[in-house]
Amino acid sequence: MQLLSVEFLGNTILQWVSAVVVVLGVMIVFQIIRRLLTRRASKAAETAPNRIGTLLLTMLKKISTLPVFLVAVYLGSIPLTLDADITGLLRTIAVIALVIQCAIWGNQIINFLLVKFVKEKQEDPASGEAAYTALRFILRLVMWTIVVLLILDNIPGMKITSLITGLGIGGIAVALAVQNILQDLFASLSIFLDKPFVIGDYIEVDTFVGRVASIGLKTTRVDSQSGEELVFSNSDLLNSRIRNYKKMEVRRVVMTVGVAYDTPVDKLAAMPGMFEEVIEAIPPTAFIRAHLTAFNNYSLDFEVVYEVQSSVYKDYMDVRHLVLLGILRRFQEEGIVIPFPTQIEIERAE
């Protein structure tokens, strides 16, 4: 018993033994709890994959023994009488170890949430991968910035107020320098999350028409009808008026047909029925209306409206081709003339 009362480095042997027991006890309890939780999380992951059980299992596997040991050492040092600098150093090391461990967990949580709510929600795998990569980079950058600031804040003598101020000023300068890049980056995230179009959609931007080939972090590439590749910056693309033809279930066609002024009135009255017969005979179409709408300079104009029951552009053009041929054929049968501008010279006797 006298041996336990012997002092060593300002503490009795009993106090040192108690500190070691606390360290060992913390490590043993930690291992027991981790094994129990790992078993339950494994069962949960098997019954419901890609759920919370999978996330918990991954986080348990990512727990490093070193941070737990450092925390255990700090807890074991509490009953000891140590120099204030040593106690402060042990506390700082334990806090830094916990912060780093939380950062590792945070990285796993970010990956899990992005895979579940971004990557798996995208219809196109390439778009999902790009959105996942961009968001992961941004979130991890923010997280590790906070982690570094927390670590520096726990280092004795380190004042991070001036550092935060400097980072704020530097961040503003960098943001202004890469303003266009950041605009395109956030625009790409808007495209990935809001999905005004995806890869493979047929879109029209201003006077440019084509099929979306790829969506990147800065640019979107479109294969045009004439064969060349169109490259749009994502910010300019979102600021433009975009027509997405893939989301269109039907195409409405409004066309004007002019006939000669000498066409008999009874034939003019029967022409809406002629248009309906021609259009309804060509699938997949739906006749809407046809009316005499204007007395033009050279013709009597009819406005004909019908729908093509297909979103495929080739089907739309095929139907329009057949409708025009059908109207021409019917006009020839009925003796109806489509006029063209003419000039008649009248001689005057002087």
Kindly state the tokens that stand for 168: 């704020």
Domain count for the chain, please give it.
2
Question: What is the separation of C-alpha 259 from the centre of its chain, rounded to a whole number of angstroms?
Answer: 52
Let me know if residue 151 belongs to a domain. Answer: no
Residue 111's closest CA among 136, 138, 147, 137? 136
Q: What is the pLDDT of residue 275?
A: 95
Domain that holds residue 255: 251-334
Let me know if residue 238 belongs to a domain. Answer: no
Given 121, 147, 179, which residue is the final one in a domain?
121
Let me know if residue 320 belongs to a domain. Answer: yes
pTM over 0.75: no
Q: Which residues pair with 215 in a beta bridge?
A: 220
pLDDT band at 97 (very low <50, low <70, confident <90, very high): confident
Asked if the model's pLDDT at residue 240 lies above 70, the reply is yes
88 versus 222: which is more confidently predicted? 222
47 versus 30: which is more confidently predicted? 30
- Given the structure tokens 């935060």, which residue do they identify? 164
Sign of CA dihedral 286, 291, 293, 299: positive
Rounded CA gap, 185 and 137, in Å?
A: 11
State the Rg of the chain over Cα.
38
Given 54, 86, 121, which residue is the final one in a domain?
121
Sign of CA dihedral 105, 107, 110, 113: negative
Q: What is the pLDDT of residue 349?
A: 44
Amino acid at 23: V
Let me know if residue 36 belongs to a domain. Answer: yes
CATH number of residue 289's parent domain: 3.30.70.100
pLDDT band at 336 (very low <50, low <70, confident <90, very high): very high
Q: What is the pLDDT of residue 37?
A: 82
pLDDT band at 7 (very low <50, low <70, confident <90, very high): low
Let me know if residue 139 belongs to a domain. Answer: no
54 versus 28: which is more confidently predicted? 28
Asked if the model's pLDDT at residue 348 lies above 50, the reply is no
Q: Choose the weakest-confidence range: 17-26, 109-118, 299-308.
A: 109-118
Q: Compute the mean pLDDT over every residue in the chain, rounded to the nearest whole number.
A: 80
Given 100, 121, 142, which residue is the final one in a domain?
121
Q: Which residues pair with 203 in a beta bridge?
A: 210, 244
Asked if the model's pLDDT at residue 60 lies above 90, the reply is no
Asked if the model's pLDDT at residue 120 lies above 90, the reply is no
Asked if the model's pLDDT at residue 6 lies above 70, the reply is no
Asked if the model's pLDDT at residue 339 lies above 60, the reply is yes
Kindly state the tokens that stand for 314: 């080739």
What would the pLDDT profile of 255-307 be if each residue is shown by its tens digit?
999 999 999 999 999 999 999 999 999 988 999 999 999 999 889 999 999 99
Let me know if residue 87 belongs to a domain. Answer: yes
Query: Do the beta carbons of residue 343 and residue 294 sit within 8 Å?
Result: no
CB-based contacts of 80: which residues, under 8 Å, 6+ apart? 11, 15, 16, 19
Asked if the model's pLDDT at residue 43 lies above 80, the reply is no
Let me know if residue 245 belongs to a domain. Answer: no
Rounded CA gap, 249 and 316, in Å?
A: 12
Query: Do the beta carbons of residue 192 and residue 130 sit within 8 Å?
Result: yes
3-state SS, residue 295: strand
pLDDT band at 9 (very low <50, low <70, confident <90, very high): low
Let me know if residue 12 belongs to a domain. Answer: yes
Rounded CA gap, 210 and 223, in Å?
A: 5
- Given the structure tokens 């309906």, which residue do they identify? 276
Q: If you average pLDDT over residues 53-69, what whole number do you get?
A: 80
